[in-house]
């Protein structure tokens, strides 16, 4: 279940502006990687491109997951392959009940293995308890009026219910208080196994203290400029991105 | 068409069904007024369709023993009610809420009327369970008169299920006495190819009417809602959900007239047009001279699901007073791409995502239906219609 991205270039369809300028990234099965980088550098764009967001156009490169050509597939087919994206800004959808939506999603991703209503309710309750979420969240319209923290927990809840093979979590830690951050980290660690890999996009080293990554990548201006172990994140905390921006100009 | 022949048939039908003389006279008058206007529009087609029922004496009300009792809820065949409560009906049938003189269609509706129902909720009566009004054998020209007495409270459910045929007209009129409180829920699942539906209400002071109208029918439709807020402090809310698909055309006009002081009218129209269908929403709020402190608000939203589906929302506020509050909002939109994408990232395919979002667009309106059983029924019917 390795994710392999080779020389990925992507532009914004509307403006033709290039955001991703040759990304190379491999996430082997069972590993957790983190991407850090300054604002506007293309981290969310990378996450959305992997998932198939229609505003971006791939101009070069490949994405493979488990040997399959990801770019040939529609968004929902990518989810069915086992990809999951916890979004930086999850959509609010009025009129769609959170629990109904989850059930529809589970049904869609595991059509051969339909889960009974009772099983579903039990799993939902267990996971919500695990994430210390209010019961009423399940019956509310999807993300509508959720606080920032509730939205993020709801993304993690979906991840736990859908059990993807690779979860890309885009700033899952932003806007969370310390307790919530621990809860979310607990959720991610709960899935951690040799069958699960994850890509964490974050600005803060703190998340990476709770979910210790195997590899940390630094992304600047649409490229990965450096990769290293967890200590790279600590180092960044001290130095900031300036050094990498300069390095890149000369390289 | 032989106009004189039809005039005779109207009289014969009326007599054979023991209708009161005033009705025979009124029907003849209505016919004489409308017969010269038949070539103007679709009325000719309707006349041809409806005249069959008149010839057949489709709804023969036998002579009944008058046992006059208005202390309980009355729910009767209109023909029977005409014999038992002639005065009450003379005063109210197509006079106050859906006036037969108002236009040619209404006049024709009365002239060729063969069947319907009469519902009476006595003053002060508080109905515990919703009152169901449906007639599986509703003829193609059908009238329902509902009178809710002063201070009475009732939930009314009208289920419309006309079979596939051309040219059906269903007229419903609701009269609310002072302080009456009515929740009226109508589901229209008719299959008639051309369907006319009128729902009119007349409200006395302090009365409160909440209408939930679901247009889940399959054919072309002209739908006409009219509410007269006559008494001071009367209020009405109309919440509507409409769906059109294939080549269907829905033309909907909702009008609330504020006559009384401090009256309050709210119109909310929500529509989804699929395939090559069309929905036109006209909303009119009129505040008449003298209606001090009145309020009129409207909100129309249309969701077009395909390139070929289309529609109009056309909000109108007509205001003759100064010290009033009025506002409107209208929108025509498509499915939100980011919402669609979000659902797809969870493995839900495009078709299913469209279904969920469409349902989500209309569901919040249905969720406001005060009665739990009815609400669940409405949601089930919505699901059925969207599939
Ligand atoms: N749909 C879009 N339309 C226009 N510009 C876009 C769009 N998507 C991304 N961009 C631009 O592309 C650049 C990269 O954006 P992206 O969201 O990927 O950055 P990021 O690294 O995730 O930043 P942050 O840390 O602030 O979340 C930004 O300049 C952004 O404004
Ligand atoms: Mg971002």
Choose from A52, A91, A145 for mutation: most chain B CBs within 10 A. A91
The response to whether residue A89 sits with its C-beta less than 6 Å from ligand 1 reads: no
Angstrom distance (rounded) from CA B221 to CA B251: 6
Residue A88 Cα: closest atom of ligand 1: 27
Closest chain B C-alpha to A221 CA, distance in angstroms: 25
Q: Is the minimum CB–CB distance between B348 and chain A shorter than 8 Å? A: yes
Helix or strand run (H / E) with residue B339: helix B337-345
Query: A141 to chain B: nearest residue by CA?
Result: B360
The response to whether residue A41 sits with its C-beta less than 6 Å from ligand 1 reads: yes
Q: Is B363 helix (H, G, I), strand (E, B) or coil?
A: helix
Angstrom distance (rounded) from CA A58 to CA A10: 4
User: Of 3.10.450.750, 3.40.50.10490, 3.40.50.300, 2.40.110.10, which CATH number belongs to A3-89+164-250?
Assistant: 3.40.50.300
Angstrom distance (rounded) from CA A19 to CA B273: 37
Residue B16 maps to a domain: no
Query: Phi first, then psi: what are they for B76, rounded to 5°?
Result: -135, 155
Q: Are A233 and A205 in contact (CB under 8 A)?
A: yes
pLDDT single digits (tens) B79-127 = 999 999 999 999 999 999 999 999 999 999 999 998 899 999 999 999 9
- The length of chain A in residues reads 251
pLDDT single digits (tens) B42-80 = 788 888 888 888 876 555 556 666 677 788 899 999 999
How many CA atoms are closer than 13 Å to the CA of B352, on its beta-carbon side? 18
Cα pseudo-dihedral B362, B160, B38, B19, rounded to 10: -150
Residue B164 maps to a domain: yes
Q: Are A18 and A59 in contact (CB under 8 A)?
A: yes
Residue A219 Cα: closest atom of ligand 1: 21
Residue B14 maps to a domain: no
Choose among B211, B241, B216, B215: nearest CA to B226: B211
pLDDT < 50 regions, chain B = none
End-to-end CA gap in chain B:
42
The response to whether residue A44 sits with its C-beta less than 6 Å from ligand 1 reads: yes
Residue B46 maps to a domain: no
Question: Which residue blocks in chain A are alpha helix, DSSP H?
Answer: 43-51, 75-81, 98-109, 117-130, 148-162, 178-191, 205-210, 231-239, 242-250
Look at chain B and report how many structural domains it folds into.
Answer: 2
Same domain, B240 and B344: no
Same domain, B162 and B311: yes
Same domain, B158 and B300: yes
Angstrom distance (rounded) from CA A172 to CA B108: 66
Q: What is B97-127 written as a DSSP string?
A: SS-TTS-HHHHHHHHT--EEEEEEE-TT-B-
Domain termination residue (choose one: B293, B316, B335): B335
Query: Phi first, then psi: what are they for A99, rounded to 5°?
Result: -65, -40
Burial class (CB in 10 A: 0-12, 13-18, 19+), A69: exposed
Same domain, B107 and B247: yes
- Which of A19, A37, A51, A53 gets mutated to test ligand 1 (max ligand atoms within 8 A of its CB)? A19
Residue B23 maps to a domain: no
Structural domain span for residue B355: 336-387
Are B357 and A96 an interchain contact pair (Cβ–Cβ within 8 Å)? yes
Choose among B101, B105, B134: nearest CA to B117: B134
As given in the structure block, the two tokens for residue B23 are: 């009705």
Angstrom distance (rounded) from CA B23 to CA B19: 6
Same domain, B319 and B368: no
Residue B191 CB contacts under 8 Å (≥ 6 apart), including other chains? B162, B163, B164, B217, B218, B219
Closest chain A C-alpha to B327 CA, distance in angstroms: 23
Q: Are A226 and A232 in contact (CB under 8 A)?
A: yes
Same domain, B144 and B281: yes
Same domain, B234 and B331: yes
Angstrom distance (rounded) from CA B11 to CA A181: 82
Are B363 and A95 an interchain contact pair (Cβ–Cβ within 8 Å)? yes
> Which residue's CA is the closest to the ligand 1 atom numbered 9?
A45
Per-residue pLDDT, A251 = 44
| Extents of the domains making up chain A | 3-89+164-250
- The length of chain B in residues reads 387
Q: Is the minimum CB–CB distance between A108 and chain B shorter than 8 Å? A: yes
The response to whether residue A60 sits with its C-beta less than 6 Å from ligand 1 reads: no
Per-residue pLDDT, B278 = 96
Kindly report the pTM of this predicted structure: 0.87
Angstrom distance (rounded) from CA A189 to CA B125: 62
Same domain, B275 and B164: yes
Residue B11 maps to a domain: no
Closest chain A C-alpha to B363 CA, distance in angstroms: 6
- Report the complex ipTM: 0.96
Choose among B30, B22, B36, B187: nearest CA to B112: B30
> Looking at beta carbons, which residues of chain B come within 8 Å of A54?
337, 341
Residue B26 maps to a domain: no
The response to whether residue A19 sits with its C-beta less than 6 Å from ligand 1 reads: yes
> Which residue's CA is the closest to the ligand 1 atom numbered 18?
A42
| pLDDT tens over chain A, length 251 residues | 899 999 999 999 999 999 999 999 999 999 999 999 999 999 999 999 999 999 999 999 999 999 999 999 999 999 999 999 999 999 999 999 999 999 999 999 988 888 899 999 999 999 999 999 999 999 999 999 999 999 999 999 999 999 999 999 999 999 899 999 999 999 999 999 999 999 999 999 999 999 999 999 999 999 999 999 999 999 888 888 888 775 555 54
Per-residue pLDDT, B54 = 81
> CA–CA distance from A87 to each of A185, B51, B63, B132, B361 (Å)?
16, 63, 72, 48, 23
Choose among A215, A225, A217: nearest CA to A247: A225
Residue B98 maps to a domain: yes
């Amino acid at each position: 279940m390795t994710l392999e991205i080779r020389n990925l270039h992507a532009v914004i369809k509307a403006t033709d502006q290039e955001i991703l300028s040759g990304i190379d990234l491999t996430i082997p099965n069972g590993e957790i990687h983190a991407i850090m980088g300054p604002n506007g550098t293309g981290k969310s764009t990378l996450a959305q491109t992997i998932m198939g967001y229609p505003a971006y156009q791939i101009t070069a490169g490949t994405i493979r997951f488990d040997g399959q050509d990801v770019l040939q597939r529609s968004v929902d087919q990518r989810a069915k392959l086992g990809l999951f994206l916890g979004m930086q800004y999850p959509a609010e959808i009025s009129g769609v009940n959170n629990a109904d939506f989850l059930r529809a999603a589970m049904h869609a991703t595991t059509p051969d293995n339909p889960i009974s209503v009772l099983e579903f309710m039990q799993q939902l309750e267990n996971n919500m308890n695990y994430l210390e979420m209010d019961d009423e969240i399940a019956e509310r319209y999807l993300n509508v009026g959720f606080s920032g923290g509730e939205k993020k927990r709801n993304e993690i809840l979906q991840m736990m219910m859908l059990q993807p093979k690779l979860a890309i979590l885009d700033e899952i830690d932003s806007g969370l208080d310390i307790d919530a951050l621990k809860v979310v980290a607990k959720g991610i660690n709960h899935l951690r196994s040799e069958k699960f890999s994850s890509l964490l996009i974050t600005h803060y080293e703190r998340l990476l203290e709770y979910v210790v990554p195997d590899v940390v990548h630094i992304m600047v201006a649409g490229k990965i400029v450096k990769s290293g172990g967890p200590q790279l994140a600590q180092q960044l905390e001290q130095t900031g991105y300036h050094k990498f921006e300069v390095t890149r100009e000369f390289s | 068409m032989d106009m004189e022949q039809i005039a005779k048939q109207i009289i014969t039908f009326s007599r054979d069904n023991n209708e009161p003389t005033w009705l025979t006279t009124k029907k003849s008058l209505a016919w004489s007024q409308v017969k010269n206007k038949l070539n103007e529009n679709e009325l000719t087609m309707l006349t041809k369709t409806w005249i069959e029922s008149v010839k057949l004496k489709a709804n023969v009300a036998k002579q009944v023993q008058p046992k006059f009792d208005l202390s309980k809820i009355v729910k009767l065949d209109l023909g029977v009610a005409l014999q038992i409560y002639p005065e009450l009906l003379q005063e109210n049938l197509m006079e106050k809420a859906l006036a037969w003189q108002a236009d040619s269609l209404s006049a024709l509706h009365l002239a060729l009327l063969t069947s319907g129902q009469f519902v009476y909720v006595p003053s002060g009566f508080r109905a515990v369970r919703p009152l169901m009004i449906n007639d599986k054998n509703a003829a193609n020209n059908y009238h329902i008169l509902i009178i809710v007495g002063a201070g009475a409270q009732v939930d009314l459910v009208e289920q419309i299920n006309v079979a596939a045929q051309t040219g059906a007209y269903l007229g419903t009129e609701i009269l609310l006495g002072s302080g009456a409180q009515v929740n009226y829920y109508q589901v229209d699942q008719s299959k008639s190819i051309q369907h006319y539906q009128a729902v009119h209400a007349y409200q006395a002071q302090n009365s409160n009417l909440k209408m939930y109208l679901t247009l889940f029918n399959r054919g072309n439709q002209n739908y006409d809602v009219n509410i007269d807020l006559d008494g001071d402090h009367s209020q009405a809310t109309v919440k509507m959900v409409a769906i059109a698909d294939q080549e269907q055309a829905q033309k909907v006009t909702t009008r609330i007239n504020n006559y009384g002081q401090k009256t309050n009218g709210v119109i909310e129209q929500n529509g989804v047009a699929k395939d090559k269908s069309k929905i036109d929403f006209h909303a009119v709020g009129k505040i008449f001279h003298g209606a001090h402190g009145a309020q009129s608000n409207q909100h129309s939203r249309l969701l077009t699901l395909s390139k070929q589906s289309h529609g109009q929302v056309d909000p109108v506020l007509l205001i003759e007073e100064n010290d009033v509050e009025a506002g409107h909002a209208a929108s025509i939109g498509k499915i939100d791409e980011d919402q669609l994408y979000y659902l797809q990232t969870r493995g839900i395919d495009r078709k299913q995502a469209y279904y969920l979002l469409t349902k989500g667009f209309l569901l919040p309106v249905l969720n406001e239906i005060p009665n739990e059983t009815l609400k669940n029924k409405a949601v089930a019917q919505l699901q059925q219609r969207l599939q």
